[in-house]
Amino acid sequence: MKFTPQEKASIVLRFHETKSVILAQCRFRAEHRKDPPSHQTIHRLYKKFKDNVSILDRSRSGRQTTSEDIKALAIATFNHDHHTSIPRAMAQTGIPQKAIWHILQKHKYHPYRMQVVHELNNNDYDNRVRCAKAM
């Protein structure tokens, strides 16, 4: 169960005052009208507060953000040559392929290569009509 920073502070304060987990849990339940944290959680929060003088979690590194310079380089690569593929852009710029893909999607670029598979002939329409009548 997640607890707000105010609830964490409250339980640490109650535990520090009473030195009793059970009394701290009872007071927490009376104040916040919800189930109190477990014994382990209370001890962990109290230890964290004593060690760090804070009950808040440390900030996590998280996903790295792409700098504006890298975004500009990726977009400039495709503005310079519209027929550049993402793997080729990756080789030219050194930016990871997935990063290039996300940058292009975010800036409404559509990195799809048009490919002509079949050329239409003059008698294609007649063949289509003949095939449709045969069915």
Place of tokens 């990871």: 96
> Which is higher by pLDDT, 122 or 36?
36
Q: Tens digit of pLDDT for each residue in 1-27?
A: 788 889 998 999 999 999 999 999 999
Q: Rounded to two decimals, what is the model's pTM?
A: 0.44
Handedness of CA 83, 88, 93, 95 (dihedral sign): positive
**CB under 8 Å to 8, separation ≥6 — which residues?**
45, 55
Domain boundaries in the chain? 5-52, 68-106
Q: Tens digit of pLDDT for each residue in 12-71?
A: 999 999 999 999 999 999 999 999 999 999 999 999 888 888 877 777 777 777 788 888
